[in-house]
Structure 1
């Protein structure tokens, strides 16, 4: 009989060992290779390896400056920041693994009374301050003073340090766990709850907090994914523009080289023509020079003769240095001509004009949208200039005709033009106004009451200067901007389909201030608010 029991115990321990080995192998597969702990929010790279989201994100951050991203596991390279896709299946596997593991395996709590071999504890007795396995738990005292709990090593913490009694209650006023003697003593009259009930309430609150944090984390993950997608789109867009610009400059270089060859060819042709003319003239003058040399020798012979009859009978040679003959030769020299610089410059100018015209066609140069102010919307103390470009505050009522579109309370005016598609920009000079707001709004904005001021509703987006502070305002919410920038001239850019409205300060260099993203549901008008001075639309 003793042999049979020993055999059963050995089989039991062997099965526990096999189970532990299998569990250890599985756990090894569920460990992040960076932190060497169980996966927390596992994500997958393109190469298929998994990591904790926080771990791999930190690794990728350190690789940003190198221009290439590598997997810590297999060193697979990627030129762009890898998209971190959450591995929901692996996350569920980790959760199921943790749920199947008894708490004592994680905490290392074993039965106090199993001294020959470690047996996992099923419960801990707070009264005995001991942990028990299932076998010892069956024979354990069931009396009320023996309080059982999940396996724990902090048995002493579950007893009152003063009365050495089990902590059974929770004082909500002092936020303290107390025993029965404490409740009748220093905590008398306080609101007291049973410890387990207070524990469940606290866990319920924590679960609510956890749920909110989980929701916020998911929202943050979505924002990160959107930003990563935006970064990929920007990188792809930049790559496309780089490719186009490279092709443009390659084509410009090719056209310039062809133009250079044509102009140099024209220069060579003219040089050859002039050179040929000069060569012909030189040849004629060489012949003339030889003839003159021959005549000179004959005259020298005559001068050396002593017989007067012979010399006098020689025919008269005339004036060999005739002025007309000299002038004729001078005309021939000047008539050879020179390089036609005008023709060369004309060819160069024509060729460059063709290249520049092609560049202008290729490069989209956006012109400012022509904005005119709508007098029918202007407040009665707003004067509109004759060219409809300037809005000025006036202490004298302008006696505008009553119209439904007119602003009744605030010094505002809208543009006549409404934009419902495409890309546009317009510029304003606000240097002559003390308080101002410039931006865009829907035509459905109300025209009277506090909600009619631009920026104070969900139908308008404006940049504002008030009390020497600058901000972007939408639906009464402000984004404050630094005061140390020049804001005398502003540019407002609209990309209607993309849902973007951007504000720029036209300093040197141009400074981007902020881009608002929204889904536009109505056409947009330019909107001005003038508080003293004037605002002028310049572009």
Structure 2
């Protein structure tokens, strides 16, 4: 007599159970975004010493002037500041970058000083910002910049520094989808600057922690060489 082993039938999974952890994470991200959006700030935009940036104050748009005769490789004030200065408390703003294929967003100490070149070899080398940010300039906290950026429509970086050695560090960021709207939240009480993908349920993109923020900092917007405008979103009515 030959006995066959009975076939094991796995129990049926509850419909939607495998998606529950993902949905829970999305809900938590959305709730976190709602919490910081209550600190939305009013601001005005100003381009300091800048001959290649135009600002449409009515539409709150920032745009690179592609017809400028100034070589981009020689421009060190390519950026716009938001006013007034942020010296205390919590502050939130959003930027529509859906039409941009390159951008930088974050904070500046208000000086918008010339970024430092990495080496003598790079001095005098004429290269485009959007493809050679790491080689040409240092958008780092020690230079007065706390920023993240996108280049080539799909490459994302955070320009930070090592908390131990304080050496400059360009960190590659992995995002599931291209953000069309980015939220920025400064909490001076806990010394953090956070970036959220508003178009992806408020998922956290990156967070700076810097207990040495200057007394005054300013929202910073840089369209780089993109001729399409970025828009600083107004406070919802």
Normalised by the length of structure 1, the TM-score is 0.29
Counterpart of 1:432 in structure 2 is: 99
Is the partner of 2:84 in helix, strand or coil?
strand
> Displacement of 1:485 after TM fit?
2.2
CA contact (8 A) 1:469 1:483 kept: no
Normalised by the length of structure 2, the TM-score is 0.62
Out of 139, 152, 158, the residue aligned to residue 472 of structure 1 is 158
Q: Which has the higher strand share?
A: 2
- The structure showing larger relative contact order (alpha-carbon pairs under 8 Å, at least 6 residues apart) is 2
Q: Which has the higher helix share?
A: 1
CA contact (8 A) 1:408 1:448 kept: no
Q: How does 1:90-489 map to 2 (within 5 A)?
A: 366-375=38-47, 377=48, 379-387=50-58, 389-397=60-68, 408-447=75-114, 450=117, 455-456=139-140, 458=142, 459-467=144-152, 468-474=154-160, 476-489=168-181
Q: Distance in 1 between matches of 2:57 and 2:137?
A: 25
Q: Distance in 2 between matches of 1:431 and 1:465?
A: 12
> Displacement of 1:444 after TM fit?
3.5
Q: Quick one: structure 1 residues 537 and 518, their matched pair in 2 at CA, closer, same or farther if it must change by over 3 Å?
A: same
Counterpart of 2:233 in structure 1 is: 538
Out of 203, 210, 221, the residue aligned to residue 528 of structure 1 is 221
Q: Quick one: structure 1 residues 422 and 398, their matched pair in 2 at CA, closer, same or farther if it must change by over 3 Å?
A: farther
Gaps of 5+ in 1: 1-362, 400-406
Q: Distance in 2 between matches of 1:364 and 1:466?
A: 27
Q: Distance in 2 between matches of 1:457 and 1:466?
A: 20
Q: Quick one: structure 1 residues 432 and 378, their matched pair in 2 at CA, closer, same or farther if it must change by over 3 Å?
A: farther
CA contact (8 A) 1:374 1:388 kept: no
Alignment RMSD (CA, Å): 2.9
Structure with max Cα Rg: 1
Gaps of 5+ in 2: 1-34, 119-135, 162-167
> Displacement of 1:477 after TM fit?
1.5
CA shift digits 1:395-453 (9 cap, x unpaired): 23499xxxxxxx94353111222100000100001111111101101123414765996
Count of matched residue pairs: 169
CA contact (8 A) 2:94 2:182 kept: yes
Q: Distance in 1 between matches of 2:36 and 2:193?
A: 19
Q: How does 1:30-49 map to 2 (within 5 A)?
A: none
CA shift digits 1:276-308 (9 cap, x unpaired): xxxxxxxxxxxxxxxxxxxxxxxxxxxxxxxxx
